[in-house]
Amino acid sequence: MRVSPSVLAADLIDLRRSLQSMDPSIVDLIHLDVMDGHYVPQLSFGEAYARAVKSATSIPLDVHLMVAAPERECPKYFDLHPAYLTFHAEATHFGVRLAQSIREQGIGAGVSLNPGTPVERLAPLLDHVDLALVMSVEPGFYGQKFLPQSVERVRQLREMIGRRPVAIQVDGGINTANIAALAQNGASIVVAGAFCFQGDSINSRVQALKEAAAASPGS
């Protein structure tokens, strides 16, 4: 299991200190939730802040665009070369073309689904992406509880993916109590905000998640 701490839950005023405290051998990715105030009601940050984050860490970026018209926004992140650049299937009519344009930059193309969107919506895109992100909370509202039906959605998606090299990521309300079920049903990356940035060190919190995932019989 790879863990991608979401910096939206960090102290954004003192984020450099948090980033520099992360051990790259433990923390796999840095998750950036880009919100535009249109696709989701909240406004977070954009490419300038993402560039500042990249300058402060060697850990690969994991950029999640919760934006309207991602065709216009994705190119702004190409020169940052994140590990993944993810857009929402619900936000575009041109998902295949957009995924192809991301991959052409040598970036992993990701596509995300809201909790109310059937997983079958991803079927036409699975040959064109490297990551499928299952939202386990509604996007754009911080601090929500994990939706238990997300485990079944992950299982369904794993069956749809089959032997394709597509990673399943889950985002929202992740903790040591629910990560094992996600691992057992096919998730290989989790995004964790509040869990990672509250309590003791980020590294120890990430390690706790990995240990809990490894306790899954199917991991």
High-pLDDT (> 70) share of the chain, %? 97
Tally of residues, the chain: 219
If you search the block for the tokens 């790259």, which residue do you land on? 24
Contacts 24+ apart (CB under 8 A), 106-109: 106/81, 107/78, 107/81, 107/82, 107/83, 108/82, 108/83, 108/84, 109/84, 109/85
For 160-191, how does the pLDDT look when each residue is reduced to its tens digit (9 = 90+)?
999 999 999 999 999 999 999 999 999 999 99
Confidence bin at 219 (pLDDT 50/70/90)? very low
Interval 90-103 mean pLDDT = 97
Would the pLDDT of 218 be above 60?
Answer: no
pLDDT at position 216 is 53
Taking CA atoms, 196 is separated from 3, 82, 135, 149, in Å, by 10, 21, 18, 23
Active site residues: 33, 171
pLDDT at position 141 is 67
Lowest mean pLDDT among 15-19, 63-67, 138-142: 138-142
